Amino acid sequence: MTRGPKPPDDAEHHGERERSGHERRGLAARGSGAAAAWAAGAGIALFLGLWTKLVFAWWLPAFLVFALEEARRQGQSLASVAQRRAPVLLAGALAALLPTVLLLASTDRDGRPYAAVLWRGNLSAEPGDVEAVAVRLVRYVTDGSLAAPRNLTLPSWPVDLLPLLVSAALLAASGRWSGRRREIATWAGLSALTFAFVASSGYSRWPHHFAFPLLLLVFALALAADGLPPRGRLAAAAAAALFWATLGARLPTAIYPADSSPEKDRLLAAVREKGLDRSTLQLHASWGTYYTAQLFGDPQRMVVYARRAVEDPERLRQMAEVARAAGRPILLFSSRRWDRLHTPEVAAVLGPPRRTWQLGSWWAVEYDPVRSAFPPP
């Protein structure tokens, strides 16, 4: 005997209302004052996301579709919402837009407009550029071992395809078992759309970037799993538990990526103990040490991150001028091999190293720009 779609009952509707956010309460509130207050709260929440990090804007289309779907769920058309709830919509829009405009119009300590980050975000709509980022990000779907924290690398196992297979099975089963196929398709579609936005930035590469489309996909999978018969839900839960167990089994063989290795932290601790963080210009040519040195260094620290500086004579000359003006040597940090760290460009501009420290794959090399081959201006 086949099972048809399960009709939502009153308790299910009640639970859905209880899980609602500010925007849902704003649409459902009867009093205009309460509705405007909830809408303003939703607008402020959106601004706080943008204020934390502008890439939160990747979620704005999903938010708008969610609000429209909530209006449709309550039997309201877009036209009726615009007519009956115009003050509410205006309150929400102003609460989000006014502080956002103020944020974008502000300037940093160097006098540059904050809005300039939109042009420095390495955004591209070129198919080749988007495809390259998408291929890099899609590994978080096809390789389950990447579920580990960013500071660990787990060995790959064949079972790493299990999350992808279970997700595909859940979405396929929703067409037969779930009575909420429209919602599942909406969340899955929004996940794909958000993934496209994330892939438009050349800087997108880490789990906290992929989390934007992933959360929307999780919503779709949760609805799909909820519509399964009890045995189906049990099988999905067992598959998830099995996969997480394999991650735990791999922990003893996990390794540290270079930018998260404990050696870099010990090297920075040694630099602080020697007082070098307050007497040098720190030039970080590999990611992994810059943010720690910036957050926990001496108040008199001078810290610069320039990944390709060791291959850029002009940038090296700029660093030498700054160090010379401050009367400080340069302390160069990198996890590169020595021949790729002390490059011909570095030797020509900064001269020979005065002192070197090495822990694991990490180097700290001190140069004296006063004695360098680069003559002062």
Express each pLDDT in 64-90 by its tens digit. Answer: 888 788 777 766 666 776 677 678 888
Distance of alpha carbon 311 from alpha carbon 340, whole angstroms: 9
Do residues 302 and 195 both lie within one domain?
no
pLDDT value of position 244: 93
Q: Is residue 2 part of a domain?
A: no
pLDDT value of position 6: 41
Domain final position from 253, 288, 312: 253
Domain final position from 253, 283, 318: 253
Span 108-130, mean pLDDT? 78
pLDDT value of position 84: 72
Do residues 249 and 223 both lie within one domain?
yes
Do residues 263 and 217 both lie within one domain?
no
SS (H, E, C) 314-369: HHHHHHHHHHHHHCCCEEEEECCCHHHHCCHHHHHHHCCCCEEEEECCEEEEEECH
pLDDT value of position 307: 87
pLDDT value of position 112: 79
Q: For residue 206, is pLDDT > 80? A: yes
pLDDT value of position 260: 87
Q: Is residue 187 part of a domain?
A: yes
Across the chain, what does the average pLDDT equal? 85
pLDDT value of position 73: 72
Q: For residue 186, is pLDDT > 80? A: yes
Q: For residue 17, is pLDDT > 50? A: no
Query: Model pTM greater than 0.85?
Result: no
Q: For residue 214, is pLDDT > 90? A: yes
Do residues 302 and 320 both lie within one domain?
yes
Query: What's the structural domain count of the chain?
Result: 3
Domain final position from 222, 238, 253: 253
Q: CB of 139 within 8 A of CB of 199? A: no
Q: Is residue 7 part of a domain?
A: no
Range of the domain at 70: 12-118
Span 88-114, mean pLDDT? 87
Distance of alpha carbon 312 from alpha carbon 285, whole angstroms: 11
pLDDT value of position 215: 94
